[in-house]
Each structure stands twice: as C-alpha cells, then as structure tokens.
Amino acid sequence: MRYSITRDYITLGNSRSGEALQSVQFIVAHDTGNPGSTAYGNRNYFETADPLASAHTFIDDKVILEIIPLNEKAWHVRYNVNTDNQRYGEDANDAAIGVELCWGGSINFDEAYNRYIWYHAYLVNEFNLDPRRDIVAHSTLDPSRRTDPQNALNRYGISWNDFINDVVEVYNTQFVQQSDGDVETSEPETVIKGASVQLPVSIGDEGEFVREIQSDLVSAGFSLPQYGIDGIFGPETRRAVMRFQKRYGLMVDGLVGSQTLNKLKEVLNTNKPINEFPLPDGILQEGDEGEGVRQVQRALKHLNYDPTYIDGIYGPLTEDAVRRFQSMYSALANDGIYGPNTREFIEMELVDDLS
C-alpha cells in the first residue's frame, strides 16, 4: 500500500534553522514519548513554542507529516553523544533524518505503525540506504536518556528486530519489486486549512490541536469530566487551563499561548504527578466503597474537611465532610454526593493549597 506524504513546514526559528543537511547517510527512529500526541499536535507545538529541538517527520494514524524539509537539519539527537559518530562518522543532526512515531490515546496504533514502517522503507529507497544498517534507534544513540522508539513499540508487542524486519519486507515488496518507486505525494502546502493553529488558543477554537491540548491537560491531572477530549475549547477546557496556569504560577487567563503550552509540555516530560491527591471520576455517595472513596477522603482530610476515617467506606461521616465542603460554594448542591462538579471544586482547592 502506498501512502501520501504531507509537507507542512514550520517557519524558520529555533526548531528549523534552515541549515542544509549533508547527504543523508542514516535514519533515526523515534517515538514522541507523549501518549496521544498527534502529528499535527506536534507540528503546532514546534511552530508555536519554537524550542531548540525538532524532527523531520511525525507519523500518526492519519498522516505522514514532514514539518522540516529533508534537505535541512533537524535537532533530534544530542550533539554531545558520540555513538552516531562511531557508527556513521557523522553527527545525526548533520547527516540523518529523524522520524517520530505518534502513539497512544485515541491514535490507532496499527494504522500509525503501518505508515511508520512504510515511510522508513520509502526513505531507504529514496536515499539508497541499507535498512538493516542505516536505520538506528534513538535509544541506541543516547542510551542514558532515551528509550525510543522501543518505548512505544514494546507496548504493542513489537521488538526492534520485528520493526526492522517489517521495514525490509515493505521495502522489498513495495519498492524493489515494483518497476516504479514513485510515491503519491500530497501537495507540499505551507499551511493546511484547519490543521495549523495560531496561538493563543481560546474559547470557540476547535480541531485536532485543541484535542491535543485537552489530552495533555488530562494527562497532567486536570480532568475534563463533563465533555472530555472532544476537540472543542469550551468553558470546561478553559477552567482546566486556568487551574493549570494557577498551579504553575502563570498568568491565569484561560488562554493557551506559548508560555502555557511550553509549561504543559515541560510538566508532561518530567513525568511528575501534579499533586498527591488524584480524584476519581463518576458519582460516589453513601453506601459506596473502594479506592475512589479513599481518594475523596484523603483529599478532604488534606483540605481540613475531615471525614475522620480513610477507610474507603462512604458513610455518614464522609457524606458530612462532602456537605461541609459543598456548603462553601454556592455553585454546588449541598447534597453530600461526590460528582463531577464537586470534584472540579475540590481540584481547584487542591491546586490553591499545593501552589
């Protein structure tokens, strides 16, 4: 099967210097390390946040997306590691193409993986490379800091050798054995309408980038209990953004600009929990039992609405603690039942307390 390649290049800056790449000598296989982050979500991040890092191509279940021309450098491997020099005689940023696999969340892994192996086979054919020698894992080049792309592949039962064998098979069957190796390529438009998003993102915005922001917020511990990850920047998403901004000392305006976006990516990359008090979804009331009840009890006790016992039993004392908390907010029904609205206000108090 032949796939199209979409070229939607980011503008020149830290992420895309415009410096010429030497002749392509190898390919570095990566994964994004951020479950659920899409190809266009990554493109918009590098476009707007403009960090001193990048890769040429991001692949998910919908698109093979080149964000930096293949004849330019991308910053996808540290210069101060020397495995690439030992193996290929060059720094990866100067002589290799960086390819990122998007995975997790709502991404269909099989679809993304099929595009991922096909694109590697396409590059092998395009640049006359040996797939077994000239495709290298990021983890091989920088083993003290990186585990990709095995980080993603292994979760789906695919080893590095499986991946290379799959690339070889696609290369042999779809490129070597075909009289024409032409690739059906989409027009390399600079911007694809509705995909690239200008910052700040705010109320009324919709699309994949909004969905990406929502996914990151949820991963960071800021839930969207009413509407979830729906790709629509509504009041619930705005409130989650404001809670995030308050927690991390940013301007609390509910807008996702470059500063908020950078901090969100930084928080996710540290793999540190937002707070010590995760809260359950759904509704809990008197008579319920389990870990979700314990989570509510711990949070209330921390906020000085003491349920007396942290025993996982939603009894009269826990109901009373919930009522006392609800009574502090006119927007909450004083019914002693833990639900999405009560959860939201408990989270806000936890953010204030832990800031």
Task: Give burial (CB, 10 Å; 0-12/13-18/19+) of 58.
Answer: buried
Pick the CATH number of 208-270 from 1.10.101.10, 3.30.300.30, 1.10.10.10, 3.40.50.970: 1.10.101.10
- The pLDDT assigned to 191 comes to 40
Residue 329's pLDDT band, with cuts at 50, 70 and 90, is confident
- Average pLDDT of every residue of the chain: 87
Strands, E assignment, 102-217: 135-137
Q: What is the CATH number of domain 6-176?
A: 3.40.80.10
Element (H, E) at 95: helix 92-95
pLDDT tens digits along 155-195: 888 899 999 999 999 999 989 866 554 555 444 444 443 44
Task: Give burial (CB, 10 Å; 0-12/13-18/19+) of 120.
Answer: buried
Say whether pLDDT at 200 is over 60: yes
pTM for the complete prediction? 0.63
Q: Strand 64-66 vs strand 57-59: parallel, antiparallel, or unpaired? A: antiparallel
- As a three-state string, the secondary structure of 70-84 is CCECCCCCCCCCCHH
| Cα 120 to Cα 142: distance, rounded to the nearest angstrom | 20
Say whether pLDDT at 236 is over 80: yes
Q: Could you check whether the bond before residue 200 is cis, i.e. omega within 30 degrees of 0? A: yes
Q: How far is CA 352 from CA 242, 246, 347, in A?
A: 12, 8, 9
Looking at domain 291-354, its CATH architecture is Orthogonal Bundle (1.10)
Which residues of the chain are in CATH 1.10.101.10 domains?
A: 208-270, 291-354
pLDDT tens digits along 51-107: 889 999 999 999 999 999 999 999 999 999 999 999 999 999 999 999 999 998 888
Question: Under a CB-based contact definition with an 8 Å cutoff, are residues 211 and 62 in contact?
Answer: no
pLDDT tens digits along 256-297: 988 898 888 778 766 444 445 778 888 999 999 988 898 899
Which residues of the chain are in CATH 3.40.80.10 domains?
A: 6-176
